[in-house]
């Protein structure tokens, strides 16, 4: 005789009940047990065990006149549907975050390009002014007329005070370099956030039945955004 048949029903019920109450025994486990034998199938379908499962998995749900197993199935399907809708909303939020990160990256790229162009223009003008300054000094010494004529023309074409303009351009170059460092860091940080958001989105799409309920912080942020949009609409 099998050892399973030697154990009385009361002991089997107690074993299954302890497993459920300890949260180590899920509805999947109970369903697996039910196909092991006719006896376990009968025991695993008893309302008492499914009532314990309901109290563990759906503690805030109200009771019903239906059988515990049927009630568990109904609540499980509702919970599954809720999770699927929560998953869809979470995916949409994450896709929105990815789009926002991409938009910010494009903005930073534009600012970087503008700042680099500004730096290159300043460096080019600074180089030309240094040539003018050198030509101005060279006019004080003897040179062949051809060379002297070119240098004189270069000096005469310069209509701005060389020293003050050089000083201003030096400051502008320094400022551009500082701005480029700031934008480079902002770009790296935003790129890292984008990569993180993409990984989270990938994980979300792979796990549709996880609980994606908003945290309190995310709820507060969403409320702030909605309030801001509402105020903007009222002003317009």
- Give yes or no for residue 176 having a pLDDT over 50: yes
Q: What is the mean pLDDT of residues 119-146?
A: 73
DSSP 140: T
CB 155 within 8 A of CB 136: yes
Residue closest to 94 by CA, chosen among 199, 190, 191, 188: 199
**pLDDT one-digit tens code per residue, 74-131:** 888 888 888 888 888 989 999 999 999 999 999 999 999 999 999 999 999 888 777 7
Sign of CA dihedral 6, 12, 14, 15: positive
Residue closest to 30 by CA, chosen among 74, 68, 80: 68
Q: How confident is the model at residue 65 (pLDDT cuts 50, 70, 90)?
A: low
- Give yes or no for residue 153 having a pLDDT over 80: no
Distance in angstroms (rounded) separating the CA atoms of residues 199 and 193: 10
**pLDDT one-digit tens code per residue, 177-214:** 999 999 999 999 999 999 999 999 998 888 776 766 65
Q: What is the mean pLDDT of the chain?
A: 80
- Say what the pTM is: 0.61
Where along the chain do its domains lie? 3-57, 89-211
- Give yes or no for residue 62 having a pLDDT over 90: no
Q: What is the mean pLDDT of residues 53-73?
A: 78
Task: Phi first, then psi: give them for residue 113, nearest 5 degrees.
Answer: -65, -45
The pLDDT score that the predictor gives to residue 216 is 46
């Amino acid at each position: 005789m099998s050892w399973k048949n030697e154990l009385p029903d009361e002991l089997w019920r107690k074993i299954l009940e302890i497993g459920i109450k300890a949260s180590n025994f899920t509805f999947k486990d109970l369903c697996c047990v039910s196909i092991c034998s006719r006896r376990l199938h009968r025991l695993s379908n008893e309302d008492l065990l499914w009532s314990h499962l309901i109290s563990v998995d759906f503690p805030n749900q109200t009771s019903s006149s239906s059988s515990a197993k049927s009630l568990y199935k109904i609540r499980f399907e509702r919970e599954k549907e809720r999770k699927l809708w929560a998953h869809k909303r979470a995916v949409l939020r994450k896709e929105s975050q990815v789009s926002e990160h991409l938009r910010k990256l494009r903005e930073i790229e534009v600012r970087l390009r503008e700042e680099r162009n500004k730096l290159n223009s300043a460096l080019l003008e600074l180089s030309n002014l240094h040539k003018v300054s050198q030509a101005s000094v060279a006019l004080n010494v003897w040179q062949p007329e051809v060379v002297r004529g070119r240098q004189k023309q270069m000096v005469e074409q310069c209509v701005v005070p060389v020293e003050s303009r050089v000083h201003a351009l030096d400051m502008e170059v320094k400022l551009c370099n500082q701005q480029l460092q700031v934008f480079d860091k902002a770009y790296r940080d935003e790129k890292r956030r984008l990569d993180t958001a993409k990984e989270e989105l990938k994980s979300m799409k792979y796990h549709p039945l996880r609980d994606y309920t908003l945290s309190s912080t995310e709820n507060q942020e969403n409320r702030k955004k909605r309030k801001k949009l509402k105020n903007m609409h009222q002003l317009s």
